[in-house]
Chains A and B, each alone.
Chain A
C-alpha cells in the first residue's frame, strides 16, 4: 500500500461533498461492496440537507448510525443503529421493481456513455487483467431510477471513449471523479462542474474522450465549513482516503 499524495485528502473531501450534494431529501439510496465514499456521502447528506434520506447498503441495514466507519462496506459495523435488516436479495428486488431511487456504482473503466467495465482488461477469454467483476451492477444499472458513478482515478485509461467490455450499462446520471462532476446529457458525459483546485485544460487532458469544458465551465463551490465539520464528525478516521491508496 502506498502513501496517499498530499492532495488526496482535499480530493476525498471534495468528492464526498460532491456526492452528498447530489442526494435529495427523502429518496432511497443504496451502495454495495467496496464503496467507502458513497457510505460517507450518504451519512453526510443525512446530516446536512437530507435528514429524511433512506440510506440502504449491502449489509441490509437502513439508516445506520455507525460509531466508526469500516474499510469494508459489507462490515457488520454498518448495522449499528438500524431498526430493520433485509437480505441482499430483498435489496436487488427493490431495485428491480423500481423502489430504489439512487444507486452508487463504480467502474475500473468508465466510457463516454457512462458504461462501466469491472470485468477484464484485454481479451475477455484470456484477459491481461481479470478484474473483480461488477457485483450487482449489471442488474442495478438498468433498474435503479438513477445511478451515480464515482471513481477516485481520473486519467485517459480510466475515462475512455469505449470500454473494452461492458459489465453494465443503464441509468447513469452523474459521474464524480477527483477532478470534476460529469453529467450525462443526451447519452454522453459532459463536464457539469469543475472542482476548484483544477482547470478545464487539465480535465480535458486527463480524459480519454473529447470534452467541451473551458474557462466558462461552472466551478463547484469548495467544501463549506459546515460540510467539513460534518465530514470530520462522521469520518474522523478518514476512511474515505482508503480509495486513494
Chain B
C-alpha cells in the first residue's frame, strides 16, 4: 500500500497560484479549514473557488486576497451570523469575479467533468436571471426539440476534502452527510485529503463499501486533527461559535481590524492550535 502522507505545509505548497480549487463540506460544516488557513499563510493568489454552499472558508480566502474568481451558489453563515462580510466586500468592489450558480448547476458541471463530457443539461433554471449573468447557454434535445440550460463541465485542478478517517493511501471514510465531497474528488485532476485520524488500511478492508473516496483518486493525505475547525465535523465536534462570532465581528470591521485578526489568529504559527485544542 502506498503511503501518501505529507505535511500540511507540503500539501498546500503543491497547490499553485491560479488553481481552480474545489472545497469540500457545506456552509458551517466539514470544510477543509486546516488547508484554508495554510493557503492564507502561504499567501496563495488568484485562486478560483468552486463550491455549492460555503461560509467561513470562502469569506476568509476572499478577505485574505487569495481569490480572484468564484463559482458558487451560496455564501453566508446561515441564520447564525448572517451575511459573509469579506465575500460581500470582495464582490461589491469587484476584486473577486463571481460566476453565480444554483447548487444544482455546480453539481451538474462537476458531473459533466466526472463523465468526461463538455457540458450537461440541467432541469430547472428557467426564469432565473442567473442564466444570463453567468453565461449559461441552452441546448436543444435532439429527440424532442425541448430547450434546456446546458452547464459547462467544471473540472477543478485540485479538490480538497476533510474527512473523519482515512488510511495512508487515501481511502476515505465520511461519517454523516457527504455533501458534494465524492463528486468533487471524482471531478478534480488532483485530490488532497485531510483527516481527523489516519487508520490502518486493514480496518477499511473489512467493510470497503463504507469507503466514500477510493485511495487511488487521492494524491496526498494529511493527518489534521480538528482540520475542519472552526467549522463542524460530524461525530467529532460542532462549529466553534465563539471563534466564528469573533471572526465575523472582525470581518465587519475596517481593513486594519480584519487584517490584525488574521495575523493574530491565522498567520501566527500556533494561533489556530491554541483555539483548536
Contact = CB atoms under 8 A, between A and B. Distances in A.
Interface of A: 32-34, 36, 58-61, 71-76, 79, 85, 87-89, 92, 95-97, 115, 119, 124-143, 165-170, 242-243, 245
B92 to A, nearest CB: 5
B29 A166 contact: no
A125 B92 CA distance: 8
A71 B79 contact: yes
Q: Is the contact region of chain B dominated by helix, strand, or loop, or is it mixed?
A: mixed
A165 B126 CA distance: 14
Contact of A74 (B27, B98, B133): B27
A245 B245 CA distance: 15
A89 B182 CA distance: 11
B129 A167 contact: yes
A87 B178 contact: yes
A134 B29 contact: no
Contacts of A95: 123-124
Contact of B129 (A61, A88, A166, A243): A166
A79 B74 CA distance: 22
Q: How large is the interface on B (under 10, 10 to 19, 20 to 34, 35 or more residues)?
A: 35 or more
Contacts of A87: 177-180, 182-183
Given A33-B78, A119-B100, A126-B94, A72 B27 contact: yes
Contacts of A58: 26
Contacts of B83: 129, 131-132
19 contacts: A60-B177, A71-B79, A79-B176, A87-B180, A89-B111, A92-B103, A125-B94, A135-B52, A135-B73, A136-B104, A138-B104, A139-B122, A140-B104, A141-B128, A142-B126, A165-B129, A166-B127, A168-B127, A245-B79
Contacts of A72: 27-29, 78-80, 239
Interface string B64-84: 000000001111101110011
A130 B88 contact: yes
Contacts of A125: 94
B27 A96 contact: no
A82 B177 CA distance: 12
B235 interface: yes
A76 B107 contact: no
B92 A128 contact: yes
Given A71-B79, A87-B179, A169 B92 contact: no
Closest 9 CB pairs of A and B: A169-B127, A139-B104, A132-B76, A96-B123, A139-B124, A138-B102, A76-B234, A135-B74, A138-B128
Given A87-B178, A166-B129, A168-B127, A132 B75 contact: yes
Nearest to A134: B102
B176 A33 contact: no
A135 B102 contact: yes
A88 B105 CA distance: 12
A174 to B, nearest CB: 18
Contacts of A242: 79-80
B53 interface: yes
B180 A88 contact: yes
Q: Is the contact region of chain A dominated by helix, strand, or loop, or is it mixed?
A: loop
A79 B75 CA distance: 23
Given A74-B29, A89-B183, 5 more contacts: A129-B88, A138-B102, A142-B125, A167-B128, A169-B127
Given A79-B176, A124-B133, A166-B127, A137 B78 contact: no
Nearest to A143: B124
Contacts of B104: 89, 92, 96, 136, 138-140
A241 to B, nearest CB: 10
Most A CB within 10 A of own CB, among B94, B105, B129, B235? B129
Most B CB within 10 A of own CB, among A71, A72, A75, A136? A72
Interface string B209-236: 0000000000000000000000010110
Contact of B235 (A76, A85, A166, A245): A76
Contacts of A32: 103
A137 B102 contact: yes
Contacts of A141: 124, 127-128
A167 B53 CA distance: 15
A127 B87 CA distance: 12
A76 B92 contact: no
A73 B28 CA distance: 10
A169 B126 CA distance: 7
B186 to A, nearest CB: 11
Nearest to B176: A76
Given A79-B176, A85-B177, A87-B180, A73 B52 contact: no
B276 interface: no
B102 A136 contact: yes
A166 B134 CA distance: 13
B130 interface: yes
